Structure 1
Amino acid sequence: MSLGTFVKNIQNIMRGDSGVNGDAQRIEQLTWLLFLKIYAKKEEEWELFDDNYKSILPEECKWENWAVDKVDGKSLTEDKLLTFVNEKLFKQLKNIKLPADAPIKHRILKDVFASTNQYMKDGVLLRQLINEINKIDFDNIKELHAFGEIYETILKSLQSAGNAGEFYTPRAVTDFIVEMVNPKLGETVADFACGTGGFLTSTLNHLEKNMKNTEDRAEYNNAIYGIEKKPLPHLLCVTNMLVHDIDNPAIYNANSLERNVREYKDNEKFEVILMNPPYGGAEGDAIKNNFPADLRSSETADLFISLIMYRLKENGRAAVIIPDGFLFGLDNAKVAIKKKLFSEFNVHTIVRLPASVFAPYTSITTNIIFFDNTGTTKETYFYRLDMPEGYKHFSKTKPMKLEHFADCIKWWNDRCDIKDEETDTYKAKVYTLEEIVNRNYDIDLCGYPTIEEEVLSPEETILEYKEKRATLNSKIDKKLQEIENILGVKLC
């Protein structure tokens, strides 16, 4: 199977159908078909190795009974195929009855199709698309590996996922973070806004190298946990986990922020949490009331930081990608969140990322905060990741690569301050907790010496303005309070 040929063929087929408009619909149309093809393959394995396994799929809805072209002239096509898919397949999959204790491998089937759509209107083109998918041989290891590349291509096309700071995280970034946090077999890695599963995929690739026996395989199968609010990324993530040979993908279609954080018990916490939470969104009172009063930020990313703190096990490790606004923000909620983070957790490293890491989809500058649940912070190292030589910006044609983190990885294992003599700034520097507290938790440190050219969307411009305005107001209020204390008066 040729990667380029497959992608080109499926694109040409779907572009010819009047019912499919835009990349998002094409991806959803393709992925629910891929999901059923992969699920059929997984059921073969489950039935082979588990005598008690029983499929919950109605016989006529099993892939081999409606999708496989037996070249006998009896395969469904044209209007008969459309009628079957629309009137039988989807209706039955959406209405599957499950017991309360149904295993994950059964629940995902119903969860995936609860909000999935069938867009195609041309039965001939739908048959052609299904036949292309049937050319993939999942029994062939090389073919399966090639399909992994195909799926990565599909996921990259979702890099611009909306105007609320949600986008595909470059694989180089997730691979770097996983390498630094170093999850181990036996630990569970959680992502509460997992999107298409970038962090979870990097985790599985990392763990796969260490599998040696059946016990390791069982731990690998239980190594990931994800929650995704939006139906399409959820479908993509579940399919991604099946591609990576996870039998029970614990990926849930839900809103991680809808539960009161004070209700989480120890058995609902995790050894490792890795996230690139959505930011720029505004949450209503119903969501904010799930957090203690002083932590009730309107900014989605701030709430996810708090959620991580409540769901990280003792001695657990976490890494989260966060925009600059969290670092320099000094509004009451941000300061309270950072105070809790630094006083109750060990924030050991903050890596500053270039503005173009997520270009061309957003130019908001981001950072990676690494911390663990081993006690209060004593000191925090900041490291500025500069653009590699020969690069002015990252782009679609010149994306970020894991090798661009090489200097940072080397520094990680042998930490020291690094002075940039040309700009009289620090590329890397350690700050004590006392220094951070004295800055009122303004941790905009080891930043870039020159302002990089940025072209922000209107939404991003407004978000950045609000963050800076709130920070400036907070600094003014603090200065006024200092003056009042000196004078011994209360100014109106």
Structure 2
Amino acid sequence: MITGEIKNKIDGIWTTLWTEGNTNPLTNIEQLTYLLFIKGLDESELRKEKDAAFLGLEHTGVFSEMPADFTEIQKEHWPKMRWTQFKQLPAEEMHQVMITTIFPFIKTLGGKEDSAFSKYMKDASFMINKPATLQKVVTALDSIPMEDRDTQGDIYEYLLSKLQTSGTNGQFRTPRHIINMIVELMKPTPEDTIIDPAMGSAGFLVSASEYLRKNHSNLFLVEGLKNHFHKEMFYGNDMDTTMLRIGAMNMMLHGVDAPNIEYRDSLSEDNIEAENYTLVLANPPFKGSLDYESVSNDLLKIAKTKKTELLFLSLFLRILKPGGRAAVIVPDGVLFGSSNAHKAIRKEIIDNNKLDAIISMPSGVFKPYAGVSTGIMIFTKTGTGGTDKVWFYDMKADGYSLDDKRSPIEENDIADIIERFSNLSSEKERKRTEQSFFVPVDKIREQGYDLSINKYKEVEYEEVEFASTIEIIGKIESLELEIIKGINELKDMLKAGDI
């Protein structure tokens, strides 16, 4: 989460675009994303070149060889393509280089025409039409330090928060620190095949790729695993082409060469995927409502419902391989809703698969653009049951205030959640009066498959001993005497003329 100077600079850029006539928030986010992508691409190439020079190796990067089909004017622009040169150009020349050369160049960066990147960049347009505006924005972006990938991610998140309202189906952006926590809980492996069927800007996929780089760097030394990472590990679906473009750029900036990103309504009859993935990471749309006719019949078999949050849970069970895992954010209603559909999906996960954990999150986590109470549901697809006890955690703080300002605070349960979930064997003896505890599956069945933590959390009341009525009356009388004494002393002083 960004604050202070960086936040002010982004707000300044936003104001520049707005006052220059670009009033569509999503268009502005898209245009800034292109510029961030160009800046990040150069920084990434500079790092690779530096590493190669240090190791005495040759480096063939995106700027190593000029495309053969470049026109004469594009050839003239080639030395000015990289951000380090581009940012220094006069306004008119900068705009011409962008429109004529840089933007057409980045649209084909994905290599093959059918790559996710090329596919969704094909219809992209650069819409900052005034050279002076472009120069202002480039200068402002250049002053923001983005070598740290977390900062880059936070800037994306802050830009996306400018949308303010959620989408028509209730989708909204997941804070980066919550995404990172979920990925840390699930600990992706180099062999995993990961999907987010409602990917947005690909936050979960990016975080998973960063986790693997940090914890399994040796995967890039094994050709099969390296190829899997770049081409066969990451999958994402969305119905918003702008988000698909942003997601594709986000993945490429984070070093995934060919993510499998598709324009797809994940809940429709057209999506026939089954048992393809080993890990689902998602924050699917809440509060959406679909017509039965537009929903895959397979999903309606588990729970006949129009609610998107329930249909997505059915989808996750279908697309996971046996033994596959899911960590998904759900609105609280999914955990305790009393409709037949709510109970049916919870029963399916508990009785026919393995529910591992429920982490209850405070309602302010998604502020300022949503105040809904949510939880994290972690389960494993088995098809044969396996739930014997479920781990619950009552998360009270995430390191930020729970109001619209979301200011940094000291209280933060995230490290504790990760530590405890990674060592569940030591949680067995914890009482239900504590912040985390196990609940046997039989107790959950007795409660009608209710997964609200408040159903199982026990509160310890301290016995308070009050003074007897006679003692209280005695204290009142004593106070009354002191008051009368004080009043009499004040009267005497008035009579004597002392005051």
Summarize the Cα distance change of 1:440–1:158 in structure 2 as closer, same or farther, 3 Å threshold. Answer: same
1:225 alignment partner in structure 2: 235
Structure 1 stretches lacking a partner, 5+ long: 137-142, 451-492
Give, in angstroms, the shift of residue 208 of structure 1: 0.8
1:398 alignment partner in structure 2: 407
Summarize the Cα distance change of 1:81–1:123 in structure 2 as closer, same or farther, 3 Å threshold. Answer: farther
Which structure has the larger Rg?
2
Question: Does the 8 Å CA contact 2:117/2:249 hold for their aligned counterparts?
Answer: no
2:291 alignment partner in structure 1: 284
Q: Which amino acid aligns with 1:48?
A: T
2:394 alignment partner in structure 1: 385
**Counterparts of 1:313 and 1:54 in 2: how far apart (Å)?**
44
**Counterparts of 2:159 and 2:91 in 1: how far apart (Å)?**
36
5 Å-filtered alignment, 1:354-373, equals 354-373=362-381
Question: Does the 8 Å CA contact 1:32/1:235 hold for their aligned counterparts?
Answer: no
Summarize the Cα distance change of 1:401–1:336 in structure 2 as closer, same or farther, 3 Å threshold. Answer: farther
Single out whichever of 297-306 and 437-446 deviates more from structure 2.
437-446
1:234 alignment partner in structure 2: 244
1:112 alignment partner in structure 2: 121
2:427 alignment partner in structure 1: 415
Give, in angstroms, the shift of residue 195 of structure 1: 1.3
Question: Does the 8 Å CA contact 2:353/2:385 hold for their aligned counterparts?
Answer: yes
C-alpha offsets along residues 50-109 of structure 1, whole Å, 9 cap, x if unaligned? 9xx99698657798488665979896467x689x57xx9989999x9x99x8452xx412
Question: Does the 8 Å CA contact 2:87/2:139 hold for their aligned counterparts?
Answer: no
5 Å-filtered alignment, 1:456-467, equals none
Question: Does the 8 Å CA contact 1:190/1:226 hold for their aligned counterparts?
Answer: yes
1:48 alignment partner in structure 2: 60
Secondary structure of the structure 2 residue equivalent to 1:256: coil
1:311 aligned onto 2:313: no
Give, in angstroms, the shift of residue 40 of structure 1: 8.0
Question: TM-score with structure 1 length normalisation?
Answer: 0.71
Question: Does the 8 Å CA contact 1:175/1:202 hold for their aligned counterparts?
Answer: yes
Single out whichever of 301-310 and 41-50 deviates more from structure 2.
41-50
Aligned counterpart for 1:332 among listed residues 316, 322, 340: 340
Secondary structure of the structure 1 residue equivalent to 2:359: strand
**Counterparts of 2:260 and 2:88 in 1: how far apart (Å)?**
38
**Counterparts of 2:230 and 2:365 in 1: how far apart (Å)?**
31
Question: Does the 8 Å CA contact 1:77/1:127 hold for their aligned counterparts?
Answer: yes
Aligned counterpart for 2:158 among listed residues 152, 156, 159: 156
C-alpha offsets along residues 196-232 of structure 1, whole Å, 9 cap, x if unaligned? 1221122122111231343254443243221122123
Question: Does the 8 Å CA contact 1:385/1:408 hold for their aligned counterparts?
Answer: no
Q: Which amino acid aligns with 1:180?
A: L
Question: Does the 8 Å CA contact 1:377/1:433 hold for their aligned counterparts?
Answer: no
**Counterparts of 2:398 and 2:193 in 1: how far apart (Å)?**
37
**Counterparts of 2:178 and 2:43 in 1: how far apart (Å)?**
31
Q: Which amino acid aligns with 2:349?
A: L
1:462 alignment partner in structure 2: none
5 Å-filtered alignment, 1:77-476, equals 102=113, 104=115, 107-114=116-123, 116-130=124-138, 145-146=147-148, 149-159=151-161, 160-162=164-166, 164-210=169-215, 211-212=217-218, 213-215=220-222, 217-222=226-231, 223-259=233-269, 263-266=272-275, 269-294=276-301, 295-374=303-382, 375-388=384-397, 393=402, 395-398=404-407, 403-412=412-421, 413=423, 414-416=426-428, 418-419=430-431, 427-446=435-454
Q: Which amino acid aligns with 2:450?
A: D
**Counterparts of 2:448 and 2:456 in 1: how far apart (Å)?**
21
Aligned residues: 425
5 Å-filtered alignment, 1:64-83, equals 64=78, 69=86, 76=93
Question: Does the 8 Å CA contact 2:398/2:414 hold for their aligned counterparts?
Answer: no
Question: Does the 8 Å CA contact 2:353/2:387 hold for their aligned counterparts?
Answer: no
Single out whichever of 151-160 and 350-359 deviates more from structure 2.
151-160
Question: Does the 8 Å CA contact 1:190/1:270 hold for their aligned counterparts?
Answer: yes
Single out whichever of 292-301 and 428-437 deviates more from structure 2.
428-437
Secondary structure of the structure 2 residue equivalent to 1:145: coil
Single out whichever of 237-246 and 63-72 deviates more from structure 2.
63-72
Summarize the Cα distance change of 1:314–1:8 in structure 2 as closer, same or farther, 3 Å threshold. Answer: same
Aligned counterpart for 2:27 among listed residues 1, 25, 28: 25
Question: Does the 8 Å CA contact 1:350/1:380 hold for their aligned counterparts?
Answer: no
Q: Which amino acid aligns with 1:415?
A: E
Question: Does the 8 Å CA contact 1:77/1:124 hold for their aligned counterparts?
Answer: no
Q: Which amino acid aligns with 1:193?
A: A
Summarize the Cα distance change of 1:117–1:399 in structure 2 as closer, same or farther, 3 Å threshold. Answer: farther
Give, in angstroms, the shift of residue 178 of structure 1: 1.2
Q: CA RMSD in A?
A: 4.3
Give, in angstroms, the shift of residue 309 of structure 1: 0.4
2:468 alignment partner in structure 1: none
Question: TM-score with structure 2 length normalisation?
Answer: 0.71
Q: Which amino acid aligns with 1:281?
A: G
Question: Does the 8 Å CA contact 2:400/2:409 hold for their aligned counterparts?
Answer: no
Single out whichever of 336-345 and 287-296 deviates more from structure 2.
287-296
Single out whichever of 292-301 and 67-76 deviates more from structure 2.
67-76
Give, in angstroms, the shift of residue 184 of structure 1: 0.8
C-alpha offsets along residues 299-326 of structure 1, whole Å, 9 cap, x if unaligned? 1111111111011112111111101111
Question: Does the 8 Å CA contact 1:288/1:296 hold for their aligned counterparts?
Answer: no
Give, in angstroms, the shift of residue 33 of structure 1: 3.5
C-alpha offsets along residues 384-415 of structure 1, whole Å, 9 cap, x if unaligned? 32424998735534358995223333432122
Give, in angstroms, the shift of residue 285 of structure 1: 2.8
Question: Does the 8 Å CA contact 1:383/1:408 hold for their aligned counterparts?
Answer: no
**Counterparts of 1:31 and 1:72 in 2: how far apart (Å)?**
20
Question: Does the 8 Å CA contact 2:197/2:238 hold for their aligned counterparts?
Answer: yes
Give, in angstroms, the shift of residue 250 of structure 1: 2.1
Give, in angstroms, the shift of residue 181 of structure 1: 1.1
Using CA pairs below 8 Å that are at least 6 residues apart, which structure has the higher relative contact order? 1
Summarize the Cα distance change of 1:377–1:38 in structure 2 as closer, same or farther, 3 Å threshold. Answer: same
Structure 2 stretches lacking a partner, 5+ long: 49-57, 459-499
Summarize the Cα distance change of 1:254–1:61 in structure 2 as closer, same or farther, 3 Å threshold. Answer: farther
**Counterparts of 1:209 and 1:240 in 2: how far apart (Å)?**
18
Summarize the Cα distance change of 1:290–1:135 in structure 2 as closer, same or farther, 3 Å threshold. Answer: farther
**Counterparts of 1:434 and 1:386 in 2: how far apart (Å)?**
24
5 Å-filtered alignment, 1:467-486, equals none
Single out whichever of 20-29 and 123-132 deviates more from structure 2.
123-132
**Counterparts of 1:227 and 1:370 in 2: how far apart (Å)?**
21
Give, in angstroms, the shift of residue 432 of structure 1: 3.4
Seq. identity, %: 24
Question: Does the 8 Å CA contact 2:91/2:131 hold for their aligned counterparts?
Answer: no
**Counterparts of 1:178 and 1:186 in 2: how far apart (Å)?**
15
Give, in angstroms, the shift of residue 440 of structure 1: 3.1
